[in-house]
Amino acid sequence: MSFELFVGKRYLLSPRSDRSVSMITWISIGGVALGVIALIVSTSVMNGFRSNLRDAVTGSLPHITLFSWDEGIEAYNVLKNKVLEHPEVVAAAPYVYKQALLTGKKKPKGALLRGIDPLKEPSVTRISSYLRESIYALGPLDENEQRRLSASILERLSHLKAKAEKIPDGIIIGASLAQQLDVGIGDDVKLISSEQRMTPIGDVPRVKKLEVIGIFESGISGYDEVLAFADYRLVQKIYRMGKRVSGLGVSIRDPEAASQMAAELQQLDSRFMSSNWADENKSLFQVMKLEKIGLFLILTLIIVVAAFNIISSLIMLVAEKSREIAILKSLGATDGSVRRIFVYQGVVIGLAGTLFGVFLGLGLCWILGTFNIIDIPPGVYPGGNRIPVLIDWYDVGLTTLCSFLICVLVTLYPSSKAARMNPVDPLRYE
């Protein structure tokens, strides 16, 4: 152990030290720990919100969509095979997008009708996680029950199954849309398309009666209020599309790389355009990112305030130990040695506060993520009724580093003050 570290340890742990100095030291450690706890918990919660929101978006829509501005894609299997050759692509499935008017027990409501392949859609989106049997679901189902329910609903959605068994075709509608139409499971809705059919009295819109077989609830009001799902083959038939589809939905291994992957997949065939979930919701996620940065800067002020307590503690310690400092200098201690003595003490205080804060912050994150301590009303945010927590180790590392560096920097002034002390002054009246 070096001379400076030994002396610094004795100064910091000496039982004869001034109680006020000791109290300020403990307050400094607690303040640093409190700031680190606040930063870790707040960033983890915001990461959880972002992750749940991303899952809700990608649960409703694919990571990437390839489409045509024209009448659609006829030979979509050719494009699908090209897409699946990319090593980062997990799955691809056709879809059809059409505007429709739905009528239930109340006034008609406009909807975005998404035609999907019931068998392949779960590999492209997370639609299976958001299917319900009630408009007013009391809470999320367990994994096995959700899997069973989703499989049953998607199987019933098949147009081929309905045709073979001679039962009404099914439709899945958003929870908010179902409330507005005042319909539930088993009720009928009428789909009024923009396609016209000839009658003795002239052209009239095509109308199809469908049975509500499932409720879609992503937690995003913009989706739950307008989205409706049906078998894409049924939608092709209603809108007289032949074998054409609107495009392909693509799932990739890393959703965060959707923008780059969309550009790469578009190069496979220049006739088709591409879009991705990140660009479509860019403004929303940018706002969340800016909020996270702002919150990080604000909560860092807690650590800065605690760091000023370290300055106060060290200045009082310098004043208390002025005689000892003078004796050390008279015995040959250099200004650098004296400076390092008090820097070491500040580092120990900052390190103790930072480590306490990290362990307590991670523990609090675990408690929030494991136990439903704070109950969130349903529908407030996508993802459930508990506080979402997602620990990002990069954020934890950045918080730890920033806290420690701040604590080290604030030791420079009191340590320099001690180093510049004239050894004659404290000993003059001895």
SS (H, E, C) the chain: CCHHHHHHHHHHHCCCCCHHHHHHHHHHHHHHHHHHHHHHHHHHHHHHHHHHHHHHHHHHCCCEEEECCCCCECCHHHHHHHHHCCCCEEEEEEEEEEEEEEECCCCCEEEEEEEECCCCHHHCCCHHHHEECCCCCCCCCCHHHHHHHHHHHHHHHCHHHHHHHCCCCEEEEEHHHHHHHCCCCCCEEEEEEEEEEEECCEEEEEEEEEEEEEEECCCCHHHHCCEEEEEHHHHHHHCCCCCCECEEEEEECCHHHHHHHHHHHHCCCCCCEEEEHHHHCHHHHHHHHHHHHHHHHHHHHHHHHHHHHHHHHHHHHHHHCHHHHHHHHHCCCCHHHHHHHHHHHHHHHHHHHHHHHHHHHHHHHHHHHHCCCCECCCCCCCCCCECCCCCCHHHHHHHHHHHHHHHHHCCHHHHHHHHCCCCHHHHCCC
**276 found inside a domain:** no
> Do 30 and 126 lie in a common domain?
no
> Do 394 and 345 lie in a common domain?
yes
Q: Which residues pair with 112 in a beta bridge?
A: 99, 227
**Residue 260 pLDDT level (bands cut at 50, 70, 90):** confident
Could you report the per-residue pLDDT of 25-45, keeping only the tens digit for each?
Answer: 777 788 888 888 888 888 888
**327 found inside a domain:** yes
- Which one of 213, 241, 271 terminates a domain? 271
CA distance linking residue 386 with residue 368, whole number of Å: 8
Mean pLDDT of 163-189: 88
Mean pLDDT of 359-367: 89
Q: How many domains does the chain have?
A: 2
> Do 39 and 116 lie in a common domain?
no
> Do 172 and 39 lie in a common domain?
no
Say if pTM beats, i.e. exceeds, 0.75: no
**Residue 348 pLDDT level (bands cut at 50, 70, 90):** confident
Could you report the per-residue pLDDT of 278-314, keeping only the tens digit for each?
Answer: 777 777 777 777 777 777 787 777 777 777 777 776 6
Q: Identify the pLDDT of residue 69.
A: 73
Show the domain range for 218. 69-271
**59 found inside a domain:** no
> Do 343 and 311 lie in a common domain?
yes
Choice between 222 and 195, residue whose per-residue pLDDT is larger: 222
> Do 329 and 397 lie in a common domain?
yes
> Do 256 and 302 lie in a common domain?
no
Mean pLDDT of 220-242: 87
The segment with the largest mean pLDDT, out of 21-25, 112-116, 130-134, is 112-116
- Which one of 240, 271, 302 terminates a domain? 271
**60 found inside a domain:** no
Instruction: Report CA-CA distances (Å) from 242 to 198, 205, 236, 414.
Output: 19, 18, 6, 81
Q: Which of 53-62, 241-250, 361-370 has the lowest mean pLDDT?
A: 53-62
**116 found inside a domain:** yes
**242 found inside a domain:** yes
**419 found inside a domain:** yes
> Do 228 and 288 lie in a common domain?
no
Could you report the per-residue pLDDT of 48-86, keeping only the tens digit for each?
Answer: 887 777 777 776 788 888 887 777 788 888 888 888 888
CA distance linking residue 207 with residue 238, whole number of Å: 8
**Residue 359 pLDDT level (bands cut at 50, 70, 90):** very high
Q: Identify the pLDDT of residue 231.
A: 92
Residue 136, pLDDT > 50, answer yes
> Do 42 and 105 lie in a common domain?
no
**Residue 202 pLDDT level (bands cut at 50, 70, 90):** very low
- Count of C-beta atoms within a 10 Å radius of residue 275: 18
Choice between 355 and 5, residue whose per-residue pLDDT is larger: 355
The segment with the largest mean pLDDT, out of 197-201, 256-260, 371-375, is 256-260
> Do 170 and 258 lie in a common domain?
yes
> Do 375 and 399 lie in a common domain?
yes
Q: Identify the pLDDT of residue 83.
A: 87
Mean pLDDT of 83-112: 87
> Do 292 and 408 lie in a common domain?
yes
**Residue 320 pLDDT level (bands cut at 50, 70, 90):** low
**173 found inside a domain:** yes
Mean pLDDT of 248-264: 86
Q: Identify the pLDDT of residue 229.
A: 93
**Residue 12 pLDDT level (bands cut at 50, 70, 90):** low
- Which one of 231, 249, 271 terminates a domain? 271
pLDDT, averaged across the chain: 78
